[in-house]
Chain A
Amino acid sequence: MSKLLEVNSLSLSIHSKNGLVNPLQGVGFHLNKNEIVGLIGESGCGKSLTAQSMLQLWPQGSIIKSGEIIFEGQNIINLSDKEMEKIRGNKIGMIFQDPNLTLNPTMKIGSQLTEGVRLHKRLPKSEAWKRAEEWLSKVGIRDPSQRMQQYPHQLSGGMKQRVMIAMAMICSPSILIADEPTTALDVTIQAQILELFKMLRDEHQTSILLITHDLGVVARCCDRVLVMHQGKIIESSSVEQLFAAPQTRHAQALLSAKRSLMIC
């Protein structure tokens, strides 16, 4: 099983109003090819920060105390901005939580979609445009050519998130990091997006790191799951294993809380 991404002992500190805090304390996990890994934990445990660290998108004032992130044979944690720019959007894609806020309101959809692929793959405008339209169809948007000419405010929330996915996937990255991608969406749309992720894994050989606080999401589409608590990964197992026999007390608590809410 070849490891696509390996994170070892990642520790991060941030200067905040209350002094120095350590939101990540020795995070370690790995990502294999063709799998969807869920990263679950309660708010404030450091999951978003972990995701952002993959692409060096830390908040200002962050300091890496220790650790390494191995991707494609090199430690990308200390790469310069210029070198990271080659990876972002190109080899590793990322999407965020609220699609209503993550698209530039004054730029056409088409321009935003093609920007990345024209930069990274040096495609001329016409080819980039075609590729963008193809991806819009792949993520389930009808009339892609029409949508390319529209502005974000003309699309619904679900559509915007699909556009985001297309935008992240257009350069065919090997890894997609999704930070709470369904939290801001309706339940029905949620289900569609999760199916979309599975399609990306199967048909495009993309591995997905899926950050969420919702066990239902994990159950629905993840192969493996990582449980995070207070800056550390405390449990890592397959989805069946977690639901059947959670190891840590924290995971057990999460599951029982979920079970008492579930009707089934």
Chain B
Amino acid sequence: MLIYLAKKLFYLGCSLFAIATLTFFLMKAIPGDPFAEEQAMRKDMHEALLKHHGMDLPWFVQYQNYLTRLLKGDLGHSLKYHGKSVNQIIASGFPVSASLGIEAFMIALSGGLFLGILAAYKKGGWQDHLALCVMLLGVSIPSFIIASGLQYLFALKFSVFPIARWGTLSHTILPALSLAALPMAFIAKMTRASLLEVLNTDYIKTAKAKGLPARTVLLRHALPNALLPVVSYLGQLLAAILVGSFVIEKIFSIPGLGQWLVNSVSNRDYPTIMGLTLFYSVILMVIVFLVDIAYGFLDPRIKVKNDE
């Protein structure tokens, strides 16, 4: 178990390092510098600006400074919104995005599990076929299309929900639903496949042969084993929600971090792009790491090593 933990931690470290480095070099690879696009600037002002941002130093020194800054938690300042630091942007946008994300996650998890278990239990029946259709659609139709569709139908045409912006609970429903569609379909698919596999195993046969009622067999024997693989996928699903949020926030004009990122992309506000991307990546990788740790505690084959 300890080895498992240590390995995962090591990987986390490597990945964090990789993403930081990648971001840095990508930004450096952009031809010209951020100030070249501003209107004709006096040469000495240009140089002064470069010096101020430390961009006149040789690249490996810049790289070192970059890493040190990161370790201190400084993600730089926005170029577009003068004076605003990326950390401030994060502080204002993150809570919004996070609550949207969590809501979507809850919907995806509960809906997906329910759908998957139902489909597996009633394999071949109409419930199964219906569930499979839903899963297929959820996986194929991109989230931004679902979002637009929902927005069009329920907000514009039928005025059931507010069209955009953020604030009350009803503001959150359409965005969360659109965000949850893909993850929910995925969870349902995985759960169904996993449960079907488990229901065919010999140990389920044994459980039945012991005279256990069907419900006990499902809940105590089948589900715990079937849900293990689903747990290990949770990290990836979170990534899907995270990335999906960019587009959803754009469609619904939600003042979250995703909108900030999208806008900074259009504005070519490089420090912000870098900082936000880095922030997102770190959050994601840490969550995946935590999920892996949780999995280690859940699967006895990892929790207790074979000591024969």
Contacts and interface: CB of A to CB of B under 8 A. Distances in A.
Are A and B in contact, CB atoms below 8 Å, in the complex?
A: yes
B304 A150 contact: yes
B216 to A, nearest CB: 8
Candidate in A55, A82, A86, A104 with the most chain B CB atoms within 10 angstroms = A104
Contacts of B17: none
Contact of B201 (A101, A115, A168): A101
A55 B209 CA distance: 7
Contact of A106 (B205, B208, B299): B299
B202 interface: yes
A219 to B, nearest CB: 28
A96 interface: yes
A119 interface: yes
Contacts of B206: 96, 102-104, 164, 167
Interface string B288-308: 000000000001110010111
A156 interface: yes
B230 to A, nearest CB: 14
Interface stretch (B2-10, B33-41, B99-107, B221-229): B221-229
Nearest to A56: B208
B202 A89 contact: no
A94 B202 CA distance: 12
A105 B211 contact: no
A90 B209 CA distance: 9
B301 A103 contact: no
Interface string B176-218: 0000000000000000000000000111011111111110000
A42 interface: no
A89 B209 contact: yes
B202 A153 contact: no
Given A103-B206, A104-B203, A151 B301 contact: yes
Contacts of A85: 211-213
B186 to A, nearest CB: 23
A57 B228 contact: no
Contacts of B202: 96, 98, 101-102
Nearest to B207: A104
Given A103-B206, A106-B228, A154 B221 contact: no
A87 interface: yes
Nearest to A90: B211
Contacts of B201: 101
B153 to A, nearest CB: 41
B200 to A, nearest CB: 10
Interface in A87-117: 87-90, 93-94, 96, 98, 101-108, 115-116
B203 A153 contact: no
B205 A57 contact: yes
A88 B304 contact: no
Interface string B66-90: 0000000000000000000000000
Contacts of A105: 203, 225, 300-301
A81 interface: yes
Candidate in B211, B225, B304 with the most chain A CB atoms within 10 angstroms = B211
B307 A88 contact: no
Interface in A43-101: 55, 57, 81-82, 84-90, 93-94, 96, 98, 101
A154 B304 contact: yes
Nearest to A103: B203
Interface in B212-246: 212-214, 220-221, 224-225, 228
A106 B300 contact: yes
A120 interface: yes
B304 A89 contact: no
A119 B211 contact: yes
A154 B214 CA distance: 28
A101 B203 contact: yes
B211 A87 contact: yes
Given A101-B202, A103-B203, A106-B299, A151 B209 contact: no
Contacts of B307: 154
B211 A102 contact: no
A164 B209 CA distance: 11
Contacts of A104: 203, 206-207, 221, 225
Contacts of A82: 213
A151 B225 CA distance: 14
B203 A151 contact: no
A205 to B, nearest CB: 20
Contacts of A119: 210-212
Given A102-B205, A151-B301, A120 B306 contact: no
Nearest to A177: B209
B300 A88 contact: no
Contacts of B211: 84-90, 116, 119-120
Interface of B: 201-203, 205-214, 220-221, 224-225, 228, 299-301, 304, 306-308
The 4 closest A-B pairs by CB, nearest first: A88-B211, A89-B210, A89-B211, A101-B202
20 contacts: A57-B205, A84-B211, A85-B211, A85-B213, A88-B208, A88-B209, A89-B209, A103-B206, A104-B221, A105-B225, A105-B300, A107-B221, A115-B220, A116-B211, A119-B212, A120-B211, A151-B304, A153-B301, A155-B308, A168-B210
Given A57-B205, A153-B300, 5 more contacts: A82-B213, A88-B211, A90-B211, A96-B206, A150-B304
